[in-house]
Amino acid sequence: MSDLSGLRRRAEEWLSQDPDPATRAELRQILDAADGTADGAADGTAEAALADRFGARLEFGTAGLRGELGAGPNRMNRVTVMRAAAGLAACLPPGGRVVVGFDARHGSRRFAQDTAAVLTGAGLKVELFAGPVPTPVVAHRVRASEDAVAGVVVTASHNPPRDNGYKVYWADGAQIVPPRDAEISAAIDAVGRVDELPLGAGWTVLEDLGPYLDAVSGLRLGDARDVSIVYTPMHGVGGPVLLEAFERAGFPAPEVVPEQAEPDPDFPTVAFPNPEEPGALDLALGLAAARGADLVIANDPDADRCAVAVPGPGGWRALTGDEVGGLLAEHVLRHTSGDDRLAVTTIVSSSLLGSIARAHGVRSAESLTGFKWIMKAGGPGDRLVFGYEEALGYSVGDDRGVLVNDKDGIGAALAVAALAAEARRDGRTLLDLLDDQARRYGLHATAQLSVRVADLSLITGAMARLRAEPPAALAGRAVESFEDLAEGAGGLPPTDGLRFRLAGRARVVVRPSGTEPKLKCYLEIVLPVEGGEDVAAVRARAAEELEALRTDVSRSLALN
């Protein structure tokens, strides 16, 4: 247990400057309990709560801030947010313009208003969206603005209801990368009491989403429009913007899952508001089956991710991020031109993108995980037209290049709809297109193994063991090469990860999650589809081999 007197001192200092009556009341209750019960006995649970809130702090990194709501520096609250805003302001040129947006989570509007007040008080110009907006709308606004120097979105994306977060964009509308994150973090550390910060007013209130809607609905990726879609915004903020974008682009209006249509920060119909999670799409799939729809499209709560499901012989199934990424890559490259085109994915995504790019005569690149790195790939002469990561994140472009320098679940939804409508016009489905790619490039089968832990030291230990004694073989395949990504393998920036290349075109990447207490393993096996071989049979064989690989990797981690 941390020193109680030191924790109490930090807590009392926090109380004296916290402008939020709710977190003040929460902290006062914890302090009273830690002081002792009626019979004078100290409450160990309250001491633990103090240690959890004041024994550490949320770290500001390339993902900004993200954490549980509550009092203290290790929680998301008004003090944490005001300190973050003041630290950001110290790193921006005086008089610059900052775009601020927020989602519909608990506290988001208040955190965005606090951010606007602190930034304005620091002499910056602020544009604050009037209501909750999708994250890609903010990213687009920053990039499209002539004088924006940064952007902020208050969101925790698809995290649980108890969380919130603080995402920072730079002037190009892309997420920050090192060393800028460290500079902002150091500036946050130097911030004094938040009740002594100068606060401003008079920021510009943004109500017009027209620039984003014009850009995204104008994507030139084919003219087919006849497709029937069931859509869910997953209790988030994507619904109105997506429906308007579809109408402007000439698509039939998707049918929205009524139980999930309106923003609700408690996400009452899903255990976890992430379309990748089991059960999250159940309501949408049920409605699609009842309506005989061609397609299900889902956004996560801040609408920067896009999930897709399709009907098949065995019923509806969700496509993986890699499957959607491969389909969209081919669709974008078919509808664009120019030798300067670039398509980018990450080291944990399928290697299929490289084969597709080569077939279309364009360059491809791999980046570290996250769109902050995808947007930094390539050189001055490259025109990025498509980027994706396997976690349902896509940035879609046309001959203008990508429209948003981050994940854009609404742009991706429009591109998927156009692709599905084009296939339908030709008497085909997205599953047919996946089989075509398997025959053309080989079947690229991917899967994940995620191990959640209560103690982060277990992850550190597992990574250390794998570095010290990498396996010689996995699932009967020899490990032909082993790369420690912490050493900056392949010209990439250093990151905590390991990559194993296996005999017979297979690969395993192991890395700790950047946002959750998980160790994540990304598996890929590539199998040829010979002659008239049945693709379904090859998929079944690949699934068996992936399961064997998953079992062997799990055994090597020794975390269960």
Which residue's structure tokens are 């892309």? Answer: 174
From CA 427, how far away is CA 449, in angstroms rounded? 36
Burial grade of 19 (CB within 10 A; 0-12, 13-18, 19 or more): middle
Phi/psi at 221 (5° precision) = -130, 45
Residue 393 pLDDT greater than 60, yes or no: yes
Name the average pLDDT for the chain: 95
- % of the chain residues with pLDDT over 70: 98
Read off the pLDDT of residues 92-103 as tens digits, 9 standing for 90 and up.
999 999 999 999
Read off the pLDDT of residues 159-196 as tens digits, 9 standing for 90 and up.
999 999 999 999 999 999 999 999 999 999 999 999 99
pLDDT score, position 517: 81
From CA 489, how far away is CA 47, in angstroms rounded? 44
Residue 71 pLDDT greater than 80, yes or no: yes
Residue 42 pLDDT greater than 60, yes or no: no
Query: Does CATH place domain 442-557 in 1.10.287.610?
Result: no
CATH number among 3.40.50.620, 3.40.30.10, 3.40.120.10, 3.40.50.300, domain 321-439 = 3.40.120.10
pLDDT score, position 122: 98
Catalytic annotation on 157?
Answer: yes
Which helix or strand (DSSP H or E) is residue 313 part of? none
Query: Does CATH place domain 58-206 in 2.30.30.90?
Result: no
Reading the block at residue 415, the tokens are 């591109």
- % of the chain residues with pLDDT over 90: 90
| Between residues 479 and 45, the one the model is more confident about | 479
From CA 244, how far away is CA 471, in angstroms rounded? 52
Burial grade of 143 (CB within 10 A; 0-12, 13-18, 19 or more): buried
Reading the block at residue 216, the tokens are 């995204």
Q: Over 398-440, what HEC string results?
A: ECCEECCCCCCHHHHHHHHHHHHHHHHHCCCCHHHHHHHHHHH
From CA 285, how far away is CA 279, in angstroms rounded? 10
pLDDT score, position 43: 61
- Pick the catalytic residue: 157, 217, 349, 350? 157
Read off the pLDDT of residues 105-132 as tens digits, 9 standing for 90 and up.
999 999 999 999 999 999 999 999 999 9
Out of 118-132, 265-279, 445-459, 532-546, least confident range: 445-459
From CA 520, how far away is CA 99, in angstroms rounded? 33
Residue 75 pLDDT greater than 50, yes or no: yes
pLDDT classification of 560: cutoffs 50, 70, 90: low
Read off the pLDDT of residues 415-467 as tens digits, 9 standing for 90 and up.
999 999 999 999 999 999 999 999 999 999 999 999 988 888 899 999 999 99
| Peptide linkage before 179 cis (omega within 30 of 0) | yes
pLDDT classification of 44: cutoffs 50, 70, 90: confident
Question: Measured on CA atoms in the order 180, 181, 185, 186, is the torsion positive or negative?
Answer: negative
Number of CB atoms found within 10 A of residue 136's CB: 30
What is the full DSSP assignment across 53-109?
HHSS-PPPBTTBEEEEBSSSTTSBSHHHHHHHHHHHHHTS-TT-EEEEEE-SSTTHH
CATH topology agreement for domains 58-206 and 321-439 = yes
| Between residues 6 and 289, the one the model is more confident about | 289
Out of 267-271, 503-507, 528-532, least confident range: 528-532
Residue 37 pLDDT greater than 60, yes or no: no
Q: Per-residue pLDDT averaged across 484-488, rounded?
A: 92
Query: Does CATH place domain 210-316 in 3.90.1150.10?
Result: no
Residue 57 pLDDT greater than 80, yes or no: yes
Read off the pLDDT of residues 193-228 as tens digits, 9 standing for 90 and up.
999 999 999 999 999 999 999 999 999 999 999 999
- Break the chain into its structural domains and give their ranges: 1-55, 58-206, 210-316, 321-439, 442-557
For the CA atoms of 334, 338, 340, 344, the dihedral, rounded to the nearest 10 degrees, stands at -10
Residue 350 pLDDT greater than 90, yes or no: yes
